[in-house]
Amino acid sequence: MKSLKSKYQMAAQFCKILPKIELHAHLNGSLSVPTIAKLVRLHKQSYPQEEVPSATEIFNDPKGFDDGYAIFKCAQALVDHPEAVKLAARSVLREFAEDNVKYVELRSTPRDCPGKMTKREYLLAIIEAIEDQSDIKAALLVSIDRRKSVEEADENVELALSLKKEFPTVVVGIDLSGDARVNQLQDYIGALQKAQDQDLKVSLHFAEVKNDKEIEFVLNHCSFKPDRVGHCTFIHHSTAAVGMSESIWKKFCDWNIPSEICLTSNVKCRSVESYQSHHLPMWYKEKLPFAICTDDKGVFNCSSSEEYAQAMQLLELNQEEMLLLSKKSIEYIFADDNVKETLRSEF
């Protein structure tokens, strides 16, 4: 009998060479230790009068949502001018490529840093990094932070729409993210619907915390339907614990919208107790569409291959089944059919 550890190591070896798709990666949550070090140096050179976050703040191992959000804040303080944004995006793309990821959708919240860059310049820097490299196919989702106002959400959608006109193959969608314990998703539906009406795809962080009102609102909405949903932790009646009815789960299954599954993120944020108790097997059992994603590979100290290996072990899949699972994710990307076709032939 192989030990669990050696089984995981074998899965990890295989998943490293497996061609992969990454659909849920926040730029400033995906910065590796070497990238952070480069960003610190760049910041000290460019703005020597400003303080940079300390190593203990930025390399903290998160033990819940609050720790995670504190780390994002530190990373964002370093990525506050176009040169830093470009450095961050280039490094993240290269690292995914080195991990054998063939297509990545990066998402990021445009930030206006007075005297340093506008939101448009922020996004242009990421677009430039995407266009400049040939190691990996990549696209961008513009994020809306639900901690910010609805007006800001509208502003981000307008910006995404105007950049989509200039860079139609790069700017492909909108993401709604930010602390799920703050404000209500319902208020952002107008902005999201506007984006969709003008051909931007929409991914929602959904049921990341227990919030039945929000979940039911989205599932029962008569006109708005997201194109993908992230996390979906508190949607099944067994994970949602008290109060979640079976009919909600049934509705979610009928919806059949692809989920972005982020195992390590959920374990480290403590929204699930362990990998073994993760909700992913229910998706597999019900044949629901999903993609394995990292969420924030820097903050959660993980990689695409490790996430795929965790899934391989949890679902008890063999190599053939794993390749099939990875290949299926191509169908859920937001890029057009040409990109899908090229990827299908590469896998």
Residues lying near ligand IMP in the complex (CB under 6 A) are found at 26-29, 72, 76, 108-109, 143, 145, 177-178, 205, 208, 265, 295-296
The residue (of 39 and 261) whose beta carbon lies closer to Zn ion is 261
Q: Could you tell me the CA-to-CA distances from 297 to 22, 96, 284, 293, 308 in Å, in that order?
A: 11, 10, 23, 9, 13
With binding defined as CB under 5 A, does residue 295 bind Zn ion? yes
What is the distance of C-alpha 154 from the center of its chain? 21
Rank residues 11 and 307 by Cβ distance to ligand IMP and give the closer one: 307
Tell me the CA distances in angstroms from 179 to 12, 46, 148, 184, 209, one per residue in order.
31, 31, 10, 10, 9
Nearest CB to ligand IMP, comparing residues 294 and 322: 294
Out of ligand IMP, Zn ion, none, which partner does residue 76 contact, by CB within 5 to 8 A per kind? ligand IMP
d(CA 223, CA 251): 15
Residue 108 contacts which entry, Zn ion, ligand IMP, none (Cβ below 5-8 A, type-dependent): ligand IMP
**C-beta nearest to Zn ion: residue:** 295
In whole angstroms, the minimum distance from the beta carbon of 300 to ligand IMP comes to 9
In this chain, which stretch among 246-254, 284-292, 295-303, 305-313 interacts with Zn ion, using CB under 5 A? 295-303
Catalytic residue of the set 22, 105, 208, 260: 208
DSSP-H helix ranges across the chain:
4-17, 33-46, 55-58, 65-78, 82-98, 119-132, 150-166, 189-197, 212-219, 246-255, 263-268, 280-285, 304-314, 319-328, 337-346
Contact of 72 with 147, CB cutoff 8 Å: no
Q: Minimum Å distance from CB 52 to Zn ion?
A: 25
Q: Which option in ligand IMP, Zn ion, none does residue 27 bind, with CB closer than 5 to 8 A by kind? A: ligand IMP
Quick one: what does residue 294 bind among Zn ion, ligand IMP, none, with the CB cut-off 5 to 8 Å set by partner type?
none
By CB under 5 A, what part of segment 135-194 binds Zn ion? none
Give the nearer residue to Zn ion in terms of CB position, either 99 or 295: 295
Residue 301 gets which letter from DSSP?
T
Binding partner selected for residue 264 from ligand IMP, Zn ion, none, CB under the kind-specific 5 to 8 Å limit: none
Judged by CB under 5 A, how many residues of this single chain contact Zn ion? 1
- Which neighbouring-strand residues pair with 342? none
Whole-number minimum distance, CB 319 to Zn ion, in Å? 28
Which of ligand IMP, Zn ion, none interacts with 29 (beta carbon under 5 to 8 A by kind)? ligand IMP
Name 240's Cβ contacts closer than 8 Å, sequence gap at least 6: 207, 210, 212, 234, 248
Tokens 């040409």 correspond to what residue?
338
Nearer to ligand IMP, 18 or 170 (CB): 170
208 is catalytic: yes
Segment contacting Zn ion by CB under 5 A, of 65-73, 92-100, 249-257, 287-295: 287-295
Q: Which is nearer to Zn ion, 25 or 42 (CB)?
A: 25
In order, the DSSP letters of 100-168 are TEEEEEEEE----BTTTB-HHHHHHHHHHHHHH--SSEEEEEEEEETTS-HHHHHHHHHHHHHHHHH-T
What is the smallest separation between the CB atom of 14 and Zn ion, expressed in angstroms?
Answer: 26
CA 31 from centroid of its chain's CA atoms: 13
Instruction: Give me Rg for the CA atoms of the chain.
Output: 19
The residue ranges that bind Zn ion (CB under 5 A) are 295
Active site amino acids = 208
